[in-house]
């Protein structure tokens, strides 16, 4: 397994739309394992393949406290949405930045697992938010793009300043 480099906002590659996975094979299973290792090391609770510069529709999520509930979503699609919730989000591609975003409270999602088996999941709360956040990445959207232009500008300035300091 390997740690993968995570792209940071405003990298243009984060805006590239991911293509569906044609076949869930050993290459995809290795990608899932590497993404999981990268997510845990970051540390985070979700990671989309787009964030590691692989533009295929693959997501890993683990919202458990003890990191024992890894879920892979390959070619995920939201079938239904209900309600609304606003909560604070962060992102491994926008390190150190947190802000509130409004999303659906409940979602029904269909995807393939790492064995290529189709499944459907109905969920709410943090897992629903995480699924929506990661699917946004696959569609080329970063959570800060839900914020005002002013906030986006401030975030870009802050990240650029931070990059100069650490360079």
| pLDDT, mean of residues 40-59 | 98
Average pLDDT, the chain: 96
pTM: 0.95
- The answer to whether position 45 is within a domain reads yes
The mean pLDDT of 121-147, rounded to a whole number, is: 97
**Active-site option among 56, 89, 114, 134:** 134
Arithmetic mean of pLDDT, 80-89: 97
CB 152 within 8 A of CB 94: no
For residues 21 and 58, the answer to whether their CB atoms sit within 8 Å is: yes
Of 7-21, 75-89, 118-132, 146-160, give the lowest mean pLDDT range: 146-160
User: What is the per-residue pLDDT for 119?
Assistant: 98
For the chain, the domain total comes to: 1
pLDDT of residue 162: 85
Domain residue limits at 90? 12-166
Residue 5 maps to a domain: no
- Residue 1's pLDDT is 78
Both structure tokens of 153? 């500008």
Report if residue 108 sits inside a domain. yes
Q: What is the CATH number of the domain that holds 32?
A: 3.90.45.10
Give domain status of residue 61, yes or no.
Answer: yes
Span 54-69, pLDDT tens digits = 999 999 999 999 999 9
Q: Within a domain: residue 39?
A: yes
Phi, psi (rounded to 5 degrees) for 101: -135, 140
Does the active-site annotation cover 114? no
Q: What is the pLDDT of residues 87-101, one digit of tens each?
A: 999 999 999 999 999
């Amino acid at each position: 397994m390997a740690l993968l480099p995570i792209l940071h906002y405003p990298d243009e590659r984060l805006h590239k739309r991911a293509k569906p996975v044609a076949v869930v094979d050993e290459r995809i299973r290795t990608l899932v394992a590497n993404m999981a290792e990268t997510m845990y090391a970051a540390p985070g609770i979700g990671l989309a393949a787009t964030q590691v510069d692989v533009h295929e529709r693959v997501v890993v999520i683990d919202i458990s406290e003890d990191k024992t509930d890894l879920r892979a979503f390959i070619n995920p699609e939201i079938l239904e949405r209900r309600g609304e919730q606003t909560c604070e989000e962060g992102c491994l591609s926008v390190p150190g930045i947190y802000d509130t975003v409004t999303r659906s409270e409940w979602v029904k999602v269909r995807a393939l697992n790492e064995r290529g088996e189709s499944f459907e999941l109905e969920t709410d709360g943090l897992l629903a938010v995480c699924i929506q956040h990661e699917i946004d990445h696959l569609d080329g959207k970063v959570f800060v793009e839900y914020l005002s232009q002013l906030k986006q500008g401030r975030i870009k300035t802050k990240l650029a300043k931070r990059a100069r300091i650490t360079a």
